[in-house]
Structure formats: C-alpha cells, structure tokens
Amino acid sequence: MNVGFIGLGIMGRPMSKNLLKAGHEVVVFGRKQHIVDELIAVGARSAASPREVAEQVEVVITMLPNSPEVKEVVLGENGIIAGAKAGSVVIDMSSISPLVSREISEELLQRGVEMLDAPVSGGESKAIDGTLSVMVGGKNEVFEKYYDLLKAMAASVVRTGEIGAGNVTKLANQVIIALYIAGMSEAMVLATKVGVDPELVYKAIKGGLAGSPALDAKVPQMLDRKFNPGFRIKLMSKDLSNALDTAHGIGASLPLTASVMEMMQALKVGGLGDLDHAALVRYYEMLAQVEVKRSLHPDPTK
C-alpha cells in the first residue's frame, strides 16, 4: 500500500519504519532533515510538503503534537487537503481534541476524503517494537479497510465509535495513566521518606493488585533516575488539558485530573517539561525533600 507519513518525532519515526518493514511504500515529510534521510536510507521516499505527500498516496498518516499542528498540516496552505484525491483517507494518530478531529473530518468530507482518528498508547518502546495500542474513531468500513495497516504498528487496534471516539478513548487512557503515575510516585516517596527501600517495596507489590505494565515501566525509571522521554511531561500536560476542556464542555468534573495537571504544570515551569512523565515523582520529591533511587545495599531477596 502507498502510505504517507507526516510527523517523524519520537513516535512517528519508529512507526514509519515498521510500515516499511511490513512491505508498505512510505512517503515521508518532516522538518528534521537528518530523520528524513535516515528513513530514506531504509526505503522511504520524501516529499517537500504535506500536499506533495497526499498527491502520491492513498492514505496519509499524521503523528503530530497537538490540535493546531494537525489542523495546519491537514487543512492549511500546502496541506494534505490540497493534494488528497477523492476516495483517499487521512488517519490522524496524534492525540488531539475530539472536537477538532470532528472539525477536520467535516472539512475533508467536503472533498470526498475520509478520516479516522487513531491515537496510540504505549510510548517510544512500543512504537519501536510495533506493539502500540491504537484506539480508533470513524466509519466501520474505513476502519476495516485499514485495520491491517494499523496492525503493522500495533499489537491492539480497537474501533471505539465514530469520528472523535478514538481521541475520547485516548483522553480516558491518559487520565488513568497520569493518576497511576501520581499514585506510584506518592507511594515510592512515602517508602523512601520512612526509610524503607523503594526497590523492595516495588518488588513486593508488583505481583499483587497494584501491579501493572505501567508500574513495571515507570518505577524502574524512577529508581534509575532515567527520565529521558518516552512520553514527555509537556505532552501529557497537553493531553490532560484536552481532557479537562472536553469534560468542562459536557458538564463533567475531573478533580483528580486537574490536580495532576497542576503538578505537571509546576514541573514545566521548573524547566522539566521535556522529561518523561515518570519524572512526576520529582514533584513529590521536592515536597518531601527525598530522592527515590536504588539502594546501595545488597538486595536480601537474592
């Protein structure tokens, strides 16, 4: 299949590589030439604009930071809409406002172009190994046609409703993850402050009800003080902002989400917005004046 891919950041670069590995022809557009060159070296072709990408393919995938960037790439001057043919499809895998997804879809439909909103969860590691979770909104017939394409990048691909439903699902996902990271941060800081080894606490609880893939992914990062981004605090903050805006628009209240949003805002103001969201633990560490890390003492369980 001829596929366009626009947005070659932490997630988009490995996702486009997985499409190439699956045998698809991929045309890419990105602002960092060294990444474009890297993809060309493994079989991709490049285009000079989103419009030129759309002119060459039947489906264009976008993986961009937020709603304004998606609107500009899809609907802006020299955007996808200017080059897309009737019958082609845009699959936006960014995490954006559900209302913006619907707005973009309505504009595309006037040109005969269908759209799926298909945000992902899993972070950089799962983007690399092709085991992302994809939550999709859009027409069922379009979803079924491009299901196998999405599976080339993911372990799980689930349609949750009409256009916009994918991003509603992603917002729910992000709320859960953000609150979970906040909870594990509180727990690890509590253990450290009391004087109990947080690594042993983690080992003790991970097999019980508190255990999860998120716990296994994020607590070791905290213990190793490795906060290089799989998913940046500033992007999680953006997602929580979208969740709160959506909730306020329908008359719902998300008090816990609002609290974590403020914590992340404080870290952003403190210059930590480009760290992984596991660095939320540093907010609690500042309050408690401790640092969660691996003990230098031998592990008595070994």
In the chain, what are the domain boundaries?
2-162, 168-288
Q: In the chain, pLDDT over 90 holds for what percent of residues? A: 94
Overall average pLDDT of the 235-252 stretch: 93
pLDDT for the residue numbered 230:
80
Helices then strands, each counted (H, E), the chain: 14, 9
Beta strands in the chain (DSSP E): 2-6, 25-29, 45-46, 59-62, 89-92, 114-117, 120-121, 132-137, 154-161
The pLDDT value recorded for residue 295 is 82
223 versus 302: the higher-pLDDT residue is 223
Q: Decide if pLDDT at 139 tops 60.
A: yes
pLDDT for residue 133 is more than 70 = yes
Evaluate if residue 94 carries a pLDDT over 60: yes
pLDDT at residue 300 is higher than 70: no
Does residue 297 have a pLDDT over 70?
no
| Average pLDDT score over residue span 204-212 | 96
Flag whether pLDDT at 80 surpasses 60: yes
| pLDDT band per the 50, 70, 90 thresholds, residue 123 | confident
> What mean pLDDT, rounded, does the chain reach?
95
Query: What's the pLDDT at 121?
Result: 92
* Topology given in CATH for the domain delimited by 168-288: N-(1-d-carboxylethyl)-l-norvaline Dehydrogenase; domain 2 (1.10.1040)
Q: Which of 114, 233, 133 is nearest to 182 (CA)?
A: 233
Q: Please give the average per-residue pLDDT across 200-214, as a whole number.
A: 96
Tell me the pLDDT tens digit for each residue of 145-181. 999 999 999 999 999 999 999 999 999 999 999 999 9
* pLDDT at 294 exceeding the cut of 90: yes
CATH of 2-162 among 1.20.1740.10, 1.10.10.10, 3.30.360.10, 3.40.50.720: 3.40.50.720
Count of C-beta atoms within a 10 Å radius of residue 12: 23
pLDDT in tens, 256-278: 999 999 999 999 999 999 999 99
165: closest CA among 115, 205, 129, 210?
115
> Could you list the active site residues?
170
Residues contacting 279, CB < 8 A, separation 6+? 227, 233, 267, 272
What local confidence, expressed as pLDDT, does residue 229 receive?
A: 85
Label residue 284 by pLDDT band (50, 70, 90). Answer: very high
Instruction: Write the pLDDT tens digit of every residue in 209-228.
Output: 999 999 999 999 999 999 99
What per-residue string of b and e applies to 33-61 under the rule 16 or more CB within 10 Å gives b? Answer: eebbebbeeeebbbbebbbbbbbebebbb
Confidence of residue 299 (pLDDT cuts 50, 70, 90): low
